[in-house]
Amino acid sequence: ENSNVLSCCTSDETLFPLLNNMLEQLELCQKSLAGYLETKRGVFPRFYFLSDPVMLEILGQASDPTKIQSYLSSFTEAVKYVEFHTKEIDRILSMTTRDDEKIPFYKDIIAKGQVEEWLNDFIRTHQKTIHQYIRHSIEKMTYEDFDLYKFIEQEIAQLGLLIVQIIWTKRSEKTLQESIINKNSMNETNKYFLDMLNQFIDKTTFDLTKYQRLKYETLITIHLHQRDIFQELYTTGIRSDLDFDWAKQCRFYFREDEDLLLVKITDVTFIYDNEALGCPERLVITPLTDRCYISIAQALAMSYGASPAGPAGTGKTETTKDMARTLGKYCIVQNCSDQFDYRGLGKTFKGLAISGCWGCFDEFNRINLPVLSVAAQQIQCLLQAKRERRKEFLFTDGDKIILNDTFAIIITMNPGYAGRQELPENLKINFRSIAMMVPDRQIIMRVKLASGGFLDNTNLAQKFFTLYKCCEDQLSKQVHYDYGLRNITAVLRTLGTVKRSRSKDSEDTIVMRVLRDMNLSKLIDEDEPLFLSLLEDLFPGIKLDKEKYDDLQKAIQKKVDEDGLINYNEWNLKVIQLYETQCVRHGIMVLGPSGAGKTKCCQILMGALTILGTHTRDYRMNPKSITASQMFGILDVATNDWTDGIFSTLWRRTLKAYEVSTKSGIHEAWWIILDGPVDAIWIENLNSVLDDNKLLTLANGDRIPMASNVKLIFEVHNIDNASPATVSRCGMIFMSSTILPWRPIFQAWLNKQIKTIGIYIFEILEKHFDELFKLLITKCLPKMKVYECNYIKQIIDLLDGLLNKEIEYTKTFLERLTIFALMWSMGSLLELNDRAKLEQYFITQSDINIPKNIPQGDSIFDYLVNDNGQWEHWSTRVETWEYPKDEKIDFASILVPNIDNVRISYLINILAKQEKAVLLIGEPGTAKTVIITSYLKHYDSEQHLTRIINFSSITTSSLIQKTIENFVDKRVANTFGPLYGRKMTIFIDDINMPMINSWGDQEANEILRQLIEQKGFYSLIKPGDFLNIIDLQFLAAMCHPGGGRNDISERLKRHFFILNCTLPSNNAVDHIFNSIGKYFCLERNFSNDIIEIVKKSISATRILWQLVKGKFLPTPAKFHYIFNLRDLSRIWEGILQIDSEQCQNDIEQYLQLWKHECTRVLADRLVLNIEKEWFRKEQFRIAKQAFGDIYNISIQDDSEVYFAK
């Protein structure tokens, strides 16, 4: 059989032509399908906004018109579903908006024939229906018994708002025209508008449904602005409807002769498009919004696009959407990313041009430059046709397009953030730039407070604004702090809810409470007191109590007990803050260092909500363990095929689950937890999800809405790489390392132990842990940075391995075991000199049971607690090394037992039997790899497999995933494990070697963390399927971080017990090479004289190596001056190549060899002659000291003798 697919297919004479023919036919099919879909889109242009797969789904179910229900939201602004006739299934009677407003059509729609044709009829009919309603409402206004407030209560929100705007325009214009004759008219009209506003505000104090409340809040938002405008006209003395201060406003006119509703902004007239809008939350109109409206209107009038640009959270997208709603337009919002290609953009542009809809391309400058260049040509083509008022024109791809000139292309940009492009000049020229830098926050606060029913809205808005201004100026500058519009909006929404639930509290108390609760969660420890003092200064004399949440607290306590945790107060507060934040935000960042309790915080709250009746489940994934295309999906450039990514698949699943739970009446919630480092690339693709659009926009044109029961949680160590655009969109929960100190973590473990044992162990830790940790961080230099929680976890891991339930422990025995655990957890990352400081601490404690009468040169780290509870020297466990005569030995794999490697092996064994991961760190040559590989040889391969993976700078997450998948076999469903039900230990050498990307992450190690944490990863072949990998255990090794060597992430370190392999002492080094040399000499029958000389040369070689290592340190010019134990090994590996025949009794021959090997390994690395001269002199001096007069080899170069094997 031929295993090479390519040669197998091309070498066969019959197969190759057949495959070629099949490829041609497939390409023909693809072309025909594309042509077919293009034809359908030409008939119903809103199909251009859907991806090919979604279109095929709609067309494939065309025989059943009811199947269109789930797709309506994809091409309409607010239609949730339509009502079909009960008997005539192809007759559509009415539509229902997302706010549950039922609107009967003015005529029935017959859903027969081609789906694109009756959908066209549906769009026209639904717009005509809205227009008919508007016309009838205008007629009602002329009746004498017309009651505006009764009309608003009975009619849909869109009509009520339009009528208020038409009345305001008509009354204001009439007053301005009459003001010269009737001096009092302006004052009367001003009072009339104020009364109208007060009537609306009064309505909010009643017990209203969610829809009614939203309707009145929207009316207040719009009418408050209208009333402010008129008051300004009145106070500034405007007396003419031709004045620019009036002309610049958004004015509504119904022309009965033309049967049209017109909207005028300055000298530009728009025809109202009659799209059903439902009752969306409307934007507060401020002077900045007004300027933006005017600029967009002028740009469109002159056949340009508009380009609002400015920092995050200034309202660029929302202003565009709100203006579209004002004009009754359907606005498509596309969240642009670097995955967009020119064909996808071209498709959207064609759809806009034919349908006359508006397109808002959010963060347009994230698209790659080559694509922007083509997009500039496409936009130029559209706008040129609009300027020339053509009915038809040829698009850049050669298609003939019937133009609807009411379309608009608006692009928004965040300048200067990571991953943004500078727009090409030929693109800029087609857009009118609008600077949106500083929103008018105080006006927004006042209007929203008023719409929420706050009477003292002006004063409260002033306090709110002042607090945020002081926070920006006085609190520390943290990346995750945001006091912008999105944060303000979230607070304002919450204020309305709290006011209704706490109707007896004063308005000041409500505002103070919400400002406190919604900002405390993100503050670091140092800023918290300052924030609270600012709040107290602004709201003097108010004392706030804490929100109780009795039922939730009971559920949290129950879940905490089930999981065997401790409900620690500070940590519990964060759980409550997470609950409060998820009530008002759909995107939340749980931020903080490793071990602060982030994961458990999410899991406990989910469990508590499930206990309370809302079944809460999660999809957890690490976005950095995969590429952006594997996460969101990839578009095949050649075939235009779309493959969904892992995240987009999970997103679709939550939407289906929501539909099922809604129908069945189950209370269900889904949390998608993105547990991995943030960078400005993948998270920016979620911007349209995190803002008020709640849409996942994909590169193939799919716009998937967010189910209302879904929350997006980011669990991150820091957000240094997140742009302000992302930070402003998320609710923040900052969990500092102080909220979960070591005591509750240890207490949770103690609760699982026998009570008497726990008491004794805790007593010792209570006395010594804090002092030891203080000593570590102030006077010692751990070789790797870890947190307090890592040390306590290491103590727990060691005690778990040391304690045996079958043994009855005495107090002394337990004390010794605890001291041993403390020594090897706190001292595991230290070098010998720092371990001596730790030892000194123990010696100074009189009440502590440590080894007595320690010999000179030894330390407490040279002792262990044996099975009898006695201190025992490690040397008693060191076996003598015997040369394995039956096999050919590899010098590099020789492990001579000594105290260092015996105790490391002992500790590895204690931890590995609990299936805990162990990481060895140390200088090169400290036998990390050899210790672990020799430990792995103890396993019986029939029951326990071992594998070794060497990481390098080119190791990728995909490569690791494929390697792990090759190691395992399918057990059941999506569960995999090593072959034949065995266990497997995987040793990862050089775990810190994978390249660190530009964001500071090691993607290869992120998939490893996911594998250790979640016991699996997502399939790359079937996105969305999680592969559970069981019976795996990890051991790893790496060099000390620093000096150009990478560190690994804090969140990965947490899963390992980290042990520092120190350099062996002089005696240990001599013992190792003495053992090896002795057996080599005996095995090769060297004479006794040679054996004696070899013994002497062992310490001489070490002294020479130490001198060279201390003298020649690495510099930028001499970066290769790195001398470690491996160099010593290489010298002896070279010397021991010699056979006994070559120097039977010739001592001089051996000494020549010794000189040659020392020179080759050490001196050949030296650059300067002066350095080499120094080496030769030192070598001669040491040789004379060690060998005496026997050594008489000249110091000069010409005496050099070379050896070769």
CA dihedral 370, 372, 376, 377 (to 10 degrees): 40
Assigned token pair, 391? 């009915």
| Whether residue 160 is found in the same domain as residue 262 | yes
Q: Residue 545 domain-assigned?
A: no
Assigned token pair, 437? 């830098």
pLDDT at residue number 165? 93
The C-alpha atoms of residue 1053 and residue 790 are separated, in whole angstroms, by 8
Half-sphere exposure of 441 (CA within 13 A, CB side): 23
Max mean pLDDT among 324-333, 721-730, 1136-1145 falls in 324-333
| Whether residue 1072 is found in the same domain as residue 1056 | no
Q: Residue 478 domain-assigned?
A: yes
pLDDT reading at 962 higher than 90? yes
Confidence of residue 304 (pLDDT cuts 50, 70, 90): very high
pLDDT at residue number 1198? 56
Contact 279, 210 (CB under 8 A): no
Confidence of residue 4 (pLDDT cuts 50, 70, 90): confident
pLDDT at residue number 806? 77
Q: Residue 1204 domain-assigned?
A: no
Which residue segment(s) compose the domain that 1046 sits in?
885-1064
pLDDT reading at 144 higher than 90? no
Contact 951, 989 (CB under 8 A): yes
Q: What is the CATH number of the domain that holds 1166?
A: 1.20.920.30
The C-alpha atoms of residue 286 and residue 900 are separated, in whole angstroms, by 72
pLDDT at residue number 1160? 84
| Range with the poorest average pLDDT among 583-597, 663-677, 953-967, 1098-1112 | 1098-1112
Half-sphere exposure of 627 (CA within 13 A, CB side): 12
Phi, psi of 417 (to 5 degrees): -85, 165
Contact 391, 402 (CB under 8 A): yes
The C-alpha atoms of residue 885 and residue 1083 are separated, in whole angstroms, by 8
Contact 624, 1008 (CB under 8 A): no
Which one of 516, 538, 560 terminates a domain? 538
1162-1171 tens-digit pLDDT: 888 888 888 8
| Whether residue 456 is found in the same domain as residue 307 | no
Mean model confidence pLDDT for the chain: 87
For the entire predicted model, the pTM comes to 0.83
CA 465 to chain centre: 31
Number of domains in the chain: 9
pLDDT at residue number 1164? 86
Assigned token pair, 1019? 């399939």
pLDDT at residue number 90? 87
pLDDT at residue number 1144? 57
pLDDT at residue number 419? 62
Q: What is the CATH number of the domain that holds 500?
A: 1.10.8.710
770-828 tens-digit pLDDT: 999 999 989 989 988 888 889 999 999 999 988 887 778 888 888 889 999 998 999 89
Residues 6+ apart with CB under 8 A from 307: 364, 410, 411, 412, 413, 428, 431, 432, 433, 434
pLDDT reading at 329 higher than 60? yes
The arithmetic mean of pLDDT across residues 723-741, rounded, is 87
pLDDT reading at 590 higher than 90? yes
pLDDT reading at 269 higher than 80? yes
Contact 368, 422 (CB under 8 A): no
| Whether residue 560 is found in the same domain as residue 704 | yes
Using alpha carbons only, give the angle 1005, 720, 1041 rounded to the nearest 5 degrees.
45
| Whether residue 918 is found in the same domain as residue 1006 | yes
| Whether residue 696 is found in the same domain as residue 810 | no
pLDDT reading at 1142 higher than 70? no
| Range with the poorest average pLDDT among 474-488, 922-936, 1020-1034, 1121-1135 | 1121-1135
Q: Are strands 615-621 and 668-675 parallel, antiparallel or unpaired?
A: parallel
Map 454-506 to HEC letters.
CCCHHHHHHHHHHHHHHHHHHCCCCCCCCCCHHHHHHHHHHHHHHHHHCCCCC
| Whether residue 694 is found in the same domain as residue 601 | yes
Q: Residue 543 domain-assigned?
A: no
Partner residues linked to 944 by β-bridges:
983
pLDDT at residue number 640? 72
The arithmetic mean of pLDDT across residues 35-58, rounded, is 89
Confidence of residue 607 (pLDDT cuts 50, 70, 90): very high
The arithmetic mean of pLDDT across residues 507-522, rounded, is 89
pLDDT at residue number 375? 92
Instruction: Say if residue 1147 is exposed, middle or buried (CB neighbours under 10 Å; 0-12, 13-18, 19+).
Output: middle
| Whether residue 1 is found in the same domain as residue 61 | no
Report the SS3 class of residue 982.
coil
Which one of 1047, 1064, 1081 terminates a domain? 1064
448-477 tens-digit pLDDT: 888 888 888 889 999 999 999 999 899 998
Using a CB cutoff of 8 Å and minimum separation of 24, what contacts does 1007-1011 make? Answer: 1007/622, 1007/625, 1007/626, 1007/957, 1007/960, 1007/961, 1008/960, 1008/1034, 1008/1052, 1009/622, 1009/625, 1009/1049, 1009/1051, 1009/1052, 1009/1055, 1010/621, 1010/622, 1010/625, 1010/675, 1010/676, 1011/964
Return the closest-CA partner of residue 1039 out of 783, 780, 781, 782. Answer: 783
| Range with the poorest average pLDDT among 521-530, 646-655, 732-741, 881-890 | 881-890
The arithmetic mean of pLDDT across residues 99-103, rounded, is 90
pLDDT at residue number 1140? 62
Confidence of residue 493 (pLDDT cuts 50, 70, 90): confident
Q: Residue 763 domain-assigned?
A: yes
pLDDT at residue number 380? 94
The arithmetic mean of pLDDT across residues 335-359, rounded, is 90
| Whether residue 172 is found in the same domain as residue 239 | yes
pLDDT at residue number 638? 72
Confidence of residue 1196 (pLDDT cuts 50, 70, 90): low
pLDDT at residue number 881? 66
The arithmetic mean of pLDDT across residues 729-740, rounded, is 89
pLDDT at residue number 895? 67
Q: Residue 410 domain-assigned?
A: yes
Confidence of residue 858 (pLDDT cuts 50, 70, 90): confident
List, in sequence order, the alpha helices (H) in 1-104: 5-11, 15-43, 52-60, 72-75
| Whether residue 290 is found in the same domain as residue 372 | yes
Instruction: Write the DSSP string, 333-392.
Output: EEE--TT--HHHHHHHHHHHHHH--EEEEETGGGS-HHHHHHHHHHHHHHHHHHHTT-SE
Report the SS3 class of residue 863.
strand
pLDDT reading at 672 higher than 80? yes
Q: Residue 756 domain-assigned?
A: yes
Instruction: Say if residue 1104 is exposed, middle or buried (CB neighbours under 10 Å; 0-12, 13-18, 19+).
Output: buried
| Whether residue 589 is found in the same domain as residue 727 | yes
1068-1095 tens-digit pLDDT: 777 777 777 776 766 666 777 777 877 8
The C-alpha atoms of residue 828 and residue 807 are separated, in whole angstroms, by 27
881-901 tens-digit pLDDT: 666 665 556 666 666 777 788
Q: Residue 517 domain-assigned?
A: yes
The C-alpha atoms of residue 1152 and residue 1179 are separated, in whole angstroms, by 12
Which one of 1019, 1039, 1064 terminates a domain? 1064
pLDDT at residue number 132? 93
Confidence of residue 718 (pLDDT cuts 50, 70, 90): confident
Confidence of residue 760 (pLDDT cuts 50, 70, 90): confident
Residues 6+ apart with CB under 8 A from 299: 305, 306, 431, 432
| Whether residue 19 is found in the same domain as residue 56 | no
